Amino acid sequence: MLSKRIIACLDVRDGSVVKGVQFEGLGHAGDPVSLARRYNVEGIDELVVLDVTATLESRRALVTTIQAVAAELFIPLAVGGGIRSADDAAAVIDAGADKISLNSAALADPGLLTALARRYGSQAVVVAIDAKRDGARYAVFARSGTAAAGRDAVEWAREAEARGAGEILLTSIDRDGTRAGFECHLTAAVSGAVQIPVIASGGAGTFEHFEDVFTRGRADAALAASIFHFAEHSVADLKTWLAGRGIPVRAVQSAPAPEGRRAC
């Protein structure tokens, strides 16, 4: 059976991992390569590297970070933050990213999703949607949650799929970094409206939150940062717990260096 994916997010600024609360107040959480290495041993299914400042200097550091992470990990790697053009996308793909995540640039020019899907395939194009509750609906925000995009999250998810996005990385701005649980109403609404996988993000705090978003929230994958970075919970412990609750997850590899790796 298709496993529910557990994805670790590395918010990177100038080559270091940082993590904020509700998109503000970034604090240091470590070196991206050593974190990525640890998660890989623990059985993470995928990594997302987000360049959270995306200044010119930061972008050069990002390429170096992607190369270093991709050099030793053989699992899917998505990269986002500040990708505004086909050239930006090519730079991170050439550095070793398997997927590119587009947010503000896709809102400004939805045709960029189509252009990148034609060039790299839909499986390489992730649309990142940052949404905030607005009454009974969810409003989309651009520019790291600072600018209302005037779009409804469900409606934008449908359009992004039609334009060529292969996955949706759906973040609840209200829950980001709060560890109060995923916004399951949001993920269920979007997941039910599209055919492509939905990655839930924002609010992971306990193992129960993951079970909740995979069942009630109808998410295909769940992404977290804080609870993994500070080693409060290992990915392996989370997966073992989820498996015990009947959620299909990829079994954790038993040893850090299995026989197959050494045979290479």
Partner 1 sequence: MRVALVDYGAGNLTSVRKALRACGADVFTPDRPEGLTAADAVVIPGVGHFAATAVLDAAWRAAVCAAVASGRALLGICLGQQWLFEGSSEAPDVPGLGLLHGRCAHLREMAEEAGAGPAGAPGPSSDGLKVPHVGWNDLAATRPSDLLLGLAPGSQAYFTHAYAAPMTSATVATTTHGARFASAVQQGRICGVQFHPEKSGDVGLRVLANFLRQAGER
163 binds partner 1 (CB under 8 A): no
126 binds partner 1 (CB under 8 A): no
| Structure-token pair, residue 115 | 């252009």
State the Cα–Cα distance between residues 89 and 8, nearest whole angstrom.
21
- Shortest separation between residue 47's beta carbon and partner 1, angstroms: 11
178 binds partner 1 (CB under 8 A): no
SS3 string, 191-259, reads HHHCCCCEEEECCCCCHHHHHHHHHCCCCCEEEECHHHHCCCCCHHHHHHHHHHCCCCCCCCCCCCCCH
| Structure-token pair, residue 5 | 């994916």
State the Cα–Cα distance between residues 142 and 147, nearest whole angstrom.
5
| Residue 60 or 118 having the CB closest to partner 1 | 118
Among 54, 70, 106, 186, binds partner 1 (CB under 8 A): 70
Binding mask 35-54 for partner 1 (x = CB under 8 A): -----x----x---------
CA distances from 80 to 44, 88, 176 (A): 19, 10, 17
Contact 43, 250 (CB under 8 A): yes
Among 191, 201, 226, 234, binds partner 1 (CB under 8 A): 191
Residue of 11, 45, 51, 220 with catalytic role: 11
87 among known catalytic residues: no
28 SS3 class: strand
| Residue 93 or 131 having the CB closest to partner 1 | 93
| Structure-token pair, residue 15 | 């080559």
Among 65, 104, 122, 201, binds partner 1 (CB under 8 A): 122
94 among known catalytic residues: no
Give me the active site residues, please. Answer: 11, 130
Site of interaction with partner 1 (CB under 8 A): 1-5, 40, 45, 70-71, 74-76, 93-94, 96, 98, 120-124, 166-167, 191-192, 195-197, 214-215, 218-221, 246-248, 250-251, 253, 258-261, 263-264
